[in-house]
Structure 1
Amino acid sequence: MKVELVTTLKRHATRILSELRHSKEPILITEHGQPSAYLVDVDDYLLMQQRLQILEGIAKGERAIEEGRVVTQQQAKQQMSKWLS
């Protein structure tokens, strides 16, 4: 992963963003020697958000199973048919 100082980002933002678009490699921005932010390509960020939503949905489903909040396939079909009518 590439690392850049925040001052370098300020001075060379256009070049750094151009490199990011071409390499698709996230860039860690540091400030006073400490990690401050990540720069990521927009498409990669959107993909990460979609994946996160999927994982959150899976986690909700697993919690529902653990808590016994489940229905049979027949019950699910009946509920769906009510919603779709």
Structure 2
Amino acid sequence: MKTELVTTLKRQATKILADLHESKEPVLITEHGQPSAYLLDVEDYEQMQNRMSILEGIARGERAVFEGRVYSDSEAQEKMSKWLK
């Protein structure tokens, strides 16, 4: 992963963005020697968000099973019958 100072980002934003789009490699921005932000390509960010949504859905499903909030096949069909017509 590439690391850049925030002052370098201010001075060379166009070049850093061009490199980012070409390499697809995230850039860590530091301020006063400390990590401050990550610069990501838009497509990579959107893909990451989609993955997070899927993982959150799986986690909710696992939690529901663990808590016993599940339906049998016949119960599910009954509850969904109004949408399956």
Whether TM exceeds 0.5 here: the answer is: yes
1:23 aligns with 2:23: yes
Which runs of no fewer than 5 residues in structure 1 stay unpaired?
A: none
Question: Could you tell me how far 1:83 is from its partner in structure 2?
Answer: 2.9
The corresponding residue for 1:54 is: 54
What pairs up with 1:1-85 in 2 under 5 angstroms?
1-85=1-85
Moved over 3 A (4+): none
Length-normalised TM-score, structure 2 = 0.95
Question: Could you tell me how far 1:82 is from its partner in structure 2?
Answer: 1.6
Which runs of no fewer than 5 residues in structure 2 stay unpaired?
A: none
Question: Could you tell me how far 1:78 is from its partner in structure 2?
Answer: 1.8
Cα distance in 2 for partners of 1:74, 1:51 equals 31
Length-normalised TM-score, structure 1 = 0.95
Question: Could you tell me how far 1:75 is from its partner in structure 2?
Answer: 1.4
Question: Could you tell me how far 1:51 is from its partner in structure 2?
Answer: 0.2
Question: Could you tell me how far 1:42 is from its partner in structure 2?
Answer: 0.1
Question: Could you tell me how far 1:84 is from its partner in structure 2?
Answer: 4.0
Alignment partner of 2:81: what SS? Answer: helix
One-letter code aligned to 1:58: I
Calculate the aligned-residue CA RMSD, in Å.
0.9
Number of matched pairs:
85
